[in-house]
Amino acid sequence: MSARKITYKIGSFEQKTRKVFTTADGLKSDNITSMCFSKDGTLFVATDKGLSYLKDGKFNEFETGIKNASVSFVSFCEKTLYAGVGDRLIAFNGKKKILNEKFSSPVVDVKIDGDGNTFILTKTVFYKKNAGEEAYSIKMGVPGCGSCMTIFRNNRVYIGTKNNGIHALVGKRWHWSSLDADSTNLLSDNINCLYSDPAGNLWIGTDKGVCVYDDNSYWLDHGKIENLPDAEITGIAVADNGDKYFSTGTGLIHMHNGNLSYYGYKRWLPSPNATGVAVSNDGTICVSTDKGLSLIETKMMTLEEKAKYLREITETYNVRKDGYVLDRELDNEGVVSLDEGFIPNTDNDGHRTGNYLADLALEYGCTKDKEAKKRARRSLLAMIKLTEITGIDGFVARAVRYPDEREYGTGVRHEWHFTKDENGNDIEWLGETSSDEIVGHFFGYAYYYDLVADEKDKELIRKTVSKILDHILDHNFRLVDTDGIPTTWANWNPELLNNDNKWAEEKGTNSLQMLTYLTCGYHMTKNERYKEAYDMLATDKHFVMNLMKYRIPDGHLCHIDDNHDFLMISLLMKYTDDPALKSIYAMGLTNHWNDAKAEKNSMYNFIYGAMTGEFFNADDCIDELTDYPMDLVCWSLYNSHRTDLEWNMTPCEMGMEPQLETPLSAHERRIVTNDLNRFICDSGAEDVAKPIFRKSDDPTAFNVLPPTGNDKGMLLRTCNNFTLPYWYGRYYGLIED
């Protein structure tokens, strides 16, 4: 195999977080009309009931002198704050009012150019006042209803209108030169925002997308350049670095170096209907919607800082009794609190906690942090309890729960069993244990054993692993439940896997699992029974040959076995010293990764890189880790409105909904575990999806509302989906901060 060894060094990167503000936070109204930042970064927000500014996390009223004033716009020109209140333009220097002028119609915008000339646009009239003069040098009617304005170099003025296109102020004898959709390549006559760039181009936001005009005769739009937004544009803001932010009827679009990123409902915005956007000097973004506003802040951080931040969220809210680490159900949308919500059981408590145990062990292996070690031992003992509580040597419970927990006494009763724990407390445990659980146990035990355990812990793990393996071997490679019947999925019997076609899909996966269990067991215990069982399966039952292509591609529809397989092949190759044997295992891993790399899953990629030494699409790993959201709530998401998505219709042939060809970026998609589908576009957004989803005019196109999951902001994921791949990549030297 290749001996390549490349470590990718990742410095500090920009990390975005968001906070939502409504009237509960001091806003005068959720009907926001305009926003702007002062040079010192203070946010001012205009509403239909007054003007507010943000200070110390709360909005405070800015006194305009008019009670409950309906403020149509607000902007800063140098140190002067301008606000339109009905047909009045009010200006302030600090809190001192320096202007209060009445016009014939509501004020829309104010601009001051580099020469100190002042330009004012109302809905019906345009005004220009030269620097140092009191009277207006230009006062012209607007052809249509004025909506926005920009000033080009040499005092070239463009105004946008509602339903009447754009108009340029030209000529020695000033007049409006009109540009409309009928006579030019303007996308629409409904103009919502304008921006003039340093090259002299005009960026035009319309209800049908963005177009760029060269101030002469050349036009561009999304029909010619894919990375110009195709959406209802309601506002535009440009950062100091040239990044552009577009508020749209379906969320916020960020243009960076020509790439478009989407910040939508509901992880980032309280409503898909974004009505405006502003950006501060430090890169803070404010997006207004019809249900309040979002403040999206950016700070520099490292991946390790991010891992520790997410870890503390999980340790605070996602650790159940004994040390099981699981997703938390919330009682109220997005409200993460120890005073409400609870951590329910799942069918896979052992598997998920085993992953978290390995995660903590890898962290300790990288940092030698005593708190990571303490937490790891806590979850180790919780895992071992699942084997001890059943009363059947080596038979592992899926989960345990206590009388004071919310769901105690519920569920499929013939699989839940009442008993008492080692302290005589009432407890119940869940049987019908699957292969998933054994995968999680061995993955967690292996890394704890190698990286954390002292001799006392090693002996404890050796005893537990021996009990599990002996149970499996004593029962002809099955797990056998309290009723004496083998469980449904925990089948590693070579006769069934090799000869019964009903197990054809599990043949490779379960062969991989059994060889891995035995290899791990021998590594820890040196018990010759496990080596002999391995040799028998590897040769007489051709399990090694089964591993040459252990994963059957399924079009990325089911991801449970993908996750199991990557975890198990990583352990099998980790504990195999024979390079010739390892090269055979690498055949199966490479076959699997060549199919799974489309998922852009950092854990899968890191495993492939660590175990083979081959290139592993490091850019996908780094993109996912840096882009992964800091908010672990499973918010409702809606992305199907986007025209840049490529759909995979193959699932429809099997009665399933279509999915994407390529997963969305981490901040745009659902927070999913490694055994869930990354190709799903939406989740829990039926209420907004139906009225927004655009049906194609092409009668052969896909016109069915795309699928939605059930995310409603009522679940808090664990950090494991970020921290496990991060610490794995760190431990194997593939990345470093």
Contact 82, 75 (CB under 8 A): yes
Which whole number is the average pLDDT over 118-144?
Answer: 93
Helix 303-317 / helix 720-731 crossing angle, nearest 10 deg: 140
Who has greater pLDDT, 658 or 259? 259
CA distance 582 to 598: 24
Closest to 1 (Cα-Cα) out of 584, 617, 607, 603: 584
Per-residue pLDDT band for 702 (boundaries 50, 70, 90) equals very low
Look at residue 212 and tell me whether its pLDDT is greater than 70.
yes
304-633+716-736 CATH fold = Glycosyltransferase (1.50.10)
The per-type count for the chain, helices as H runs and strands as E runs, is: 15, 41
Residue 154 has pLDDT above 70, yes or no: no
For residues 398 and 129, what is the distance between their CA atoms, to the nearest angstrom?
A: 76
Q: What distance in Å separates the CA atoms of residue 258 and residue 247, rounded to the nearest whole number?
A: 17
Q: In this structure, how many other beta carbons lie within 10 angstroms of the beta carbon of residue 140?
A: 17
Helix axes 720-731, 618-627, angle to 10 degrees: 140
**Residues across the chain:** 737
Q: Is 197 helix (H, G, I), strand (E, B) or coil?
A: coil
Question: What is the model's pLDDT at position 694?
Answer: 57
- Closest-CA residue to 557 (of 644, 655, 643, 483): 655
Q: What is the mean pLDDT of residues 553-564?
A: 92
Residue 581 has pLDDT above 80, yes or no: yes
Spatial contact of 487 and 411, defined as CB atoms under 8 Å apart: no
How many CB atoms lie under 10 A from the CB of residue 570?
23
Render pLDDT for 349-378 as a digit per residue (tens, 0 to 9).
Answer: 999 999 999 999 999 999 999 999 999 999
Q: Which pLDDT score, from 0 to 100, does residue 700 have?
A: 45
Question: pLDDT per residue over 709-729, tens digit each?
Answer: 788 999 999 999 999 999 999
Phi, psi of 546 (to 5 degrees): -60, -25
pLDDT at 14 over 90: yes
- Buried b vs exposed e over 249-285: b needs ≥16 C-beta within 10 Å? ebbbbbbeeeebbbbbbbbbbbbbbbbbbbbbeebbb
CB 249 within 8 A of CB 692: yes
- Least confidently predicted of 480-489, 698-707, 724-733: 698-707
At residue 172, the pLDDT reads 81
Query: 3-class DSSP state for residue 475?
Result: coil
Task: Give the burial class of 135: count Cβ atoms within 10 A of its Cβ; 0-12 exposed, 13-18 middle, 19 or more buried.
Answer: exposed
More confident site: 680 or 522: 522
Cβ contacts of 504 within 8 Å, gap of 6 or more:
none
Q: By percentage, how much of the chain surpasses pLDDT 90?
A: 83
By C-alpha distance, which of 586, 470, 461, 479 is closest to 523? 461
- The candidate with the shortest Cα–Cα distance to 281, out of 38, 16, 17, 111, is 38
DSSP 696: P
Q: Where are the domains of the chain?
A: 304-633+716-736
Please say whether the dihedral angle defined by the alpha carbons of residues 465, 467, 469 and 470, taken in this order, is positive or negative: positive
Does the pLDDT of residue 73 top 60, yes or no? yes
Query: Which tens digits make up the pLDDT trace of 259-313?
Result: 999 999 999 999 999 999 999 999 999 999 999 999 999 999 999 999 999 999 9
Residue among 539, 533, 409, 417 at smallest CA distance from 471? 533
Over residues 155-163, mean pLDDT: 91
The per-residue pLDDT for 281 is: 93
457-484 pLDDT, tens digit each: 999 999 999 999 999 999 999 999 999 9
User: Is the torsion defined by CA of 391, 394, 399, 401 positive or negative?
Assistant: positive
User: Can you give the pLDDT at residue 322?
Assistant: 94
* Cβ atoms of 666 and 679 closer than 8 Å: no
Task: Return the SS3 of 652.
Answer: helix
Rounded-to-integer distance, Cα 402 and Cα 426, Å: 7
| Angle, CA 612 vertex, CA 611 and CA 617 arms, to 5° | 100
The phi, psi pair for 522, rounded to 5°, reads: -70, -40
Q: Write the CB contacts of 76 (distance below 8 Å, at least 6 apart in sequence).
A: 36, 37, 38, 39, 44, 82
Query: Tokens 């990167």 belong to which residue?
Result: 13
The pLDDT score that the predictor gives to residue 708 is 57
Distances (CA, A) of 564 to 117, 287, 669: 68, 41, 22
Q: What is the pLDDT of residue 152?
A: 82
pLDDT, averaged across the chain: 93
Distance CA 97, CA 82 (A): 10
Q: Is the torsion defined by CA of 500, 502, 507, 513 positive or negative?
A: negative
Residue with the bigger pLDDT between 174 and 540: it is: 540
Cα(497)–Cα(597) distance, integer angstroms: 27
Residue 421: per-residue pLDDT: 87
Contact 526, 518 (CB under 8 A): no
HEC states along 264-329?
A: CECCCECCCCEEEEEECCCCCEEEEEECEEEEEEEEEECHHHHHHHHHHHHHHHCECHHHCECCEE
Nearest-angstrom CA–CA distance, 522 and 516: 10
Beta-bridged to residue 329, according to DSSP, are: 342, 715
Confidence of residue 706 (pLDDT cuts 50, 70, 90): low
Query: CA-CA distance, 180 to 183, in Å (whole number)?
Result: 6
SS3 category, 458 = helix
Name the strand (E) or helix (H) holding 496: helix 494-499
Given this model, what pLDDT does residue 1 score?
43
Whether residue 327 has pLDDT greater than 90: yes
Between CA 188 and CA 338 the distance in angstroms is 51
Q: Are 207 and 160 in contact (CB under 8 A)?
A: no
Residues near 314 by beta carbon (within 8 Å), at least 6 away in sequence: 325, 632, 718, 719, 720
Which three-class secondary structure state does DSSP give residue 7? coil
According to DSSP, the β-strands at 708-709 and 682-683 are parallel
* pLDDT tens per residue, range 395-448: 999 999 999 999 999 888 789 999 998 888 899 999 999 999 999 999 999 999
- Is residue 213 helix, strand or coil? strand
The predicted structure's pLDDT at residue 701: 46
pLDDT at 695 > cutoff 70:
no
